[in-house]
Structures are given as C-alpha cells and as structure tokens.
Structure 1
Amino acid sequence: MKLVWSPETASKAYIDTVKSCELFNESSVAELISAMAAGWNAKLIVETWSQGGVMATSIGLAIASRHSGGRHVCIVSDEQSRSEYVEAIGKSGISPEVIVGQPEEAMSSLIGIDFLVVDCRRNDFARILRVARLGHRGAVLVCKNANSRTASDFRWRSVLDGKSRVVRSVFLPVGKGLDIANVAASGASSKSGKGESRWIKHIDRRSGEEYVIRK
C-alpha cells in the first residue's frame, strides 16, 4: 500500500489556505505545501518551526490535516519557541500539537510520518530527516527556505542514509526555495523490473529431456 494522490482534496486545501493566508507574504509556499499534504491524504503531518518564522506554513498544514483527517504536529527547540509559536498560531484559531525537544527526543513518539516539513535555517534539519520514522505507505519530505546554496550542497540519499529509497526529488524556486522528495513505501523494490532475468524449466515431451532456459 502506498500514498495515493487525490486532486479534489488537494484543490480544497489549496483554496482554503489561500483564503486563510492572504495576509501573509509567503502564502504561495503555504498553499503549495497544504495542497500536497492534503492531496497525498497524509495522516501524520509533522513540521519544524524556528523563532521568527512565518506562520503561513503551519496554517496551511493545519488546514491540510482537516481535509485528510490527519494529525498535525509542530516541533520546536525550546520553551521560548513554544510560547512564541502557540501565541502566534493561536491568533488564527488553530491549535496544533507542539513538541519541544531535540530531534531524537522529539521524533521518538512520532511513528509513521506521511508528510514532513523541515526548516533549512535550523542547524539540525538534516538530523531531523535522518531520525524521522516514516510511514509504511511512503512519505513526502519538504525542506523550506532551501536557498540555491543549500540546494547545491544537499543530497537526499546521503541525508536519509540509505534507510529509505527516494523515488523522485525536485527543487522549486517558490518562496525562499523548496526541496521536495518522495520516498517509496516500505518493502517496495528498488528495481524497476526491467532487465531482470529468471530461469524457466522446460521439458521436451518427445525426448523427455529437461532444459533450463534463462529469460
């Protein structure tokens, strides 16, 4: 089983996010991420937030979770960040779960992440990706604020440390840059099936001789 795309759900989340984030400067990022999270029917949506960060993305992900019937969690590094985040997001009438702690600690209780958004401005964003416990249906990983320098130095396969297979990845010049990767469902074969060979046993009815043919 893998994540299945729903254009209708993505469209609804996109429109709702446009309405909710029209006052934010970087709403284009929020709209895109919201549509992606909802469209992939993500049941566990996780994001990281740093002090001074915009709230549009969080609002978009909260809207996406409503459409997908999922859970939205935000990870912050300390209590001061938590207070600032809760106060700011509360003005929008949204109250997502907030977890305070370092990557390994914060991720320990989050099993089966379908959609993960990290902020490249955090020094530990790569560690967060590495310790994330992704869902068995696969996952979509998003790095926001991924400027051109970060994008050129960034390699999904090295960050994921070979634990998950990257199906496809793309860098989008939206906002301050989005680096996005789609990770395969657990148990999915890393081979396309083309070029693979198999042995076929054939018995000649007339002679009774057995042949083994590689096809």
Structure 2
Amino acid sequence: MKTRSAVLIFLLIFMISCLPVKKTGSEEEFNRHLYAGLRYIQQKDYFMAKEELKLALNLNPNSVRANNLMGLAYFREKNYDYAEMYFQKAVKVDPKFAAGYLNIGAVYAMKELYPKAREYYERALAIAPDLIAAYYSLGAVYFQLGDQQTGISYLLKGLELDPDFLEKHSDSITGLPMKGSALPELNFAFAKLYASRGDIERTVDYLVRAKQCGFKDWKRIETEPEFASIKEDPRLKEFLK
C-alpha cells in the first residue's frame, strides 16, 4: 500500500507568492489567472485550476510560479508524469528554486524511485539548507531505503528546526512519501524522538500510528534508551500488555 505524499506541498504554495512576476503579456491578466488557479487548488478543484493556469502560461510560459502550480495540480490528481514535467520546467527556468527540486523528489517518491527522490531532496537542501520539509522527506526516504540510522538523523534535524512542523501544516500536507512496509518503523522512530524530548503526548500519538501500521515489537519501549524517562507512564504501559 502506498501512502500519499508529500511534505513539500505546503512550501510550494507558500513560496510561489514570493517570486517576482515577469512582465509577459498582460501582468494583471496573468496574475488574475495565476491566483485563480491557486484558489482552485486550495479548493481541490484541479480541473478548473489547470484551466486557469493554462491561461496564465499562455501569457507567460516561463513563469516559475505558474509551472509549479500546474505541476501541483497534476500531482494532486496523481498524474505524476505530467507533474514532473511542469516541476522540471520550473527548475529549468530557475535552477535555484529549491521547492521545485523538492517537488520532483516527491514525484519520484510516489513512483517508489527512492534513490532518485533522495537525489532531488538533497539538491533542494544544497540550495536551501533550512528547508525543513526536506529533512522530514529525506528521513522518510532513507527509512524506505533501509537506512534507518541516516533516516533518524534527518528526522532529528527536522525536529530541531521545527518540532511542530508536521502538526502545524497538517491541513497543507498529505503525509510523508512512504509505502506500507516502512511505515511501522518510521512512526516508531518518531515516537522515540519525541520520547527523547520528554514529549509524552506526541510519543503516544506516534506509537498509536505505529500500531495502526502493524508495529508489534513493543518490548523496545522497555529497552531503548529514548523511552527511559517516560516508560513508566501508564499510557506507554498500555502498549506492553
């Protein structure tokens, strides 16, 4: 089973408003279609979003913002080939557009091409080292690649930069780029990281998620040092029964 993706999407919507509009055709008309497309994406009306963005791209075919949004509309429809085409166009126009590389990484993650996903996430971080979403996404991809130690290091960096990132953006993201086999360990890893910070509420939350994904090795709560300070909490003991 494949889960939905990707952490990046919130950043794309946020960052596009920061880019300048190139004056091609009517700037006012371009902006009208661009932001109409954005509104339709936010309303999950992807057909109308694409119609508006086509009109925007007719006026400015090299707009990073319009190409990125068109890629997002296709991404939301799970048409990953077309999504990648528009994301690639965005980074071709602006090779320093970090969110574009992050989007392409999400496409490859959804295609289960995890080495390629890792490559593009790393390119995004090389451009924007404080891109929090990239750390969470890379952590998830390394879990999928079987390298849990490296995955945890990236997740920890994401938590250090913003421990509330996933919760704050829960309405704007659709989950980490993972499929079923790695999800139990990923959620348990999140529980460990929050346990090491003494955050019992989130520890329990991710233990519940791990259980829902099929995690069974609950004795690790007693043996792994991250749980030492909170393992006597009755809520954690429930998982040991």
More helix by share: 2
Select the structure with the greater relative contact order (CA < 8 A; seq sep ≥ 6): 2
Task: Give the structure with higher Rg (CA).
Answer: 1
**Which of the pair is proportionally richer in strand?**
1
Q: Would you call these one fold, judging by a TM-score over 0.5?
A: no
